Amino acid sequence: MKKFLFLSVLVTMGFLFAAPALSQDWTSFKEASRNIRSVKADFLQKRTLQILTKPLLSEGKLFFYTPDSLRWEYLSPLRSVMLQKGNNIQVYNFSEGKWKPEMIQAVEARRMVLAEISRWFQGRFDESKAFKHTYSPGPPARIILVPGEGINRFIQRIEIVLSVRPGVIDRVEIEESGGSRTFIEFRNVVINSSISSEVFEKP
C-alpha cells in the first residue's frame, strides 16, 4: 500500500517538475518549477501485468495546488480518490452509489511520502532519501528516478518523459520489480488555473 501511495504522489510531482522542459538546463529547470501554482490534467493509465495478455486501463483526473493540495482521482474501472490538503489526507472509494472512506487510510505513510515529495517539488532533489535523480536533456527530456534501499523492492526505476510544451509532461513510466510496468499518459493539461479549495476537501 505504501508503494502505491508513493507512486501516485510521485507521478503528480513529476508532472510539476516537467515545467522547464524547453530549458534543457538543470538550473533553469529547478527555477521554473517554482513558477507553477497549479496543475489540472486527465490521465490514462496502462498497467501491464504478467498475468494479463492485455493491459489494464484506468482513467482519471489530477488536481494539484501548491504547496500541498492534491486530488488524484480514478474514474474507471474503479472510482476512487485521494485527497490531500495540508496535513489532512483522505481516501475514498465510490461504492453502492456513494463515497465511502477507505478502510485503511494509511495516513502516516502517506504523510511521510508527501513530505519527501514536497522537498522534490521545491527543487531540493539532493535532499531526497528515497530516490536518486538524473536529468536527461533528450529529446525527449527525461527525469530518471532510481530508488534507494527499501523502495527498490517494489520500484526499479521511474522515468518522467517531458513534453515540449513548458509545464507539461507526456507520460510517466514506472518499472516495478517483478516485470510489471505502469504507463501514465497525461492529457488536457492546464497549468496555473484557479482551482476551488473544495476540490481538495470533498470527494
Partner 1 sequence: MIHRKGLDICFLGFFILSVGCVSLSEKTLVPGSPDDLPGCYAVFPAGPWESVYKLEATIRGGGSFSLLGVTKGEPSERRLQSLLLTPEGFILFDAELRDGEMAVRKAMAPFDSPAFAGGLMEDVSLLFLPPKDQPTGWEKKTEGTMICNWRGPDDSHTEVTGSMESGWRILRRDKYREVIKEVILKGPFVNGLASRVELHAFEPASYRLRMTLVQSSP
Of 119, 177, 142, residue with least CA distance to 26? 142
Segment contacting partner 1 (CB under 8 A): 27-35, 43-51, 120-128, 159-167? 43-51
Q: Does 45 bind partner 1 (CB under 8 A)?
A: yes
Q: In the complex, what is the shortest distance from the CB of residue 186 to partner 1, in angstroms, rounded to a whole number? A: 15
Q: In the complex, what is the shortest distance from the CB of residue 77 to partner 1, in angstroms, rounded to a whole number? A: 4
What are the backbone dihedrals phi and psi of residue 22, each rounded to the nearest 5 degrees, phi first? -80, -20
- Applying the rule CB under 8 A, the residues between 87 and 116 that interact with partner 1 are 93-96, 100, 102-104
Number of residues forming the site for partner 1 (CB under 8 A): 29
List 25, 28, 56, 87, residue binding partner 1 (CB under 8 A): 56
Segment contacting partner 1 (CB under 8 A): 41-49, 119-127, 164-172, 190-198? 41-49
Q: In the complex, what is the shortest distance from the CB of residue 1 to partner 1, in angstroms, rounded to a whole number? A: 6
Q: In the complex, what is the shortest distance from the CB of residue 23 to partner 1, in angstroms, rounded to a whole number? A: 31
Q: Please report the DSSP string for the chain in residue order.
A: -HHHHHHHHHHHHHHHHTTTTTT--HHHHHHHHTT--EEEEEEEEEEE-TT-SSPEEEEEEEEEETTTEEEEEEEESS-EEEEEETTEEEEEEEETTEEEE-S---HHHHHHHHHHHHHHHTT-GGG-SSEEEEEE--SSPEEEEEE-TTGGGTEEEEEEEEPSSTT-EEEEEEEETTS-EEEEEEEEEEES----GGGGT--
Q: Does 126 bind partner 1 (CB under 8 A)?
A: no
List 29, 74, 121, 186, residue binding partner 1 (CB under 8 A): 74
Is the separation of the CB atoms in 40 and 26 below 8 Å?
A: no
Q: Any idea what the Cα angle at residue 17 is, between residues 196 and 178, rounded to 5°?
A: 105
- Select 9 or 141, whichever has its Cβ closest to partner 1: 9
Q: Does 58 bind partner 1 (CB under 8 A)?
A: yes
Give the footprint of partner 1 on this chain (CB under 8 A): 1, 3-4, 7-8, 45, 47, 49, 51-54, 56, 58, 74, 77-80, 93-96, 100, 102-104, 180, 182
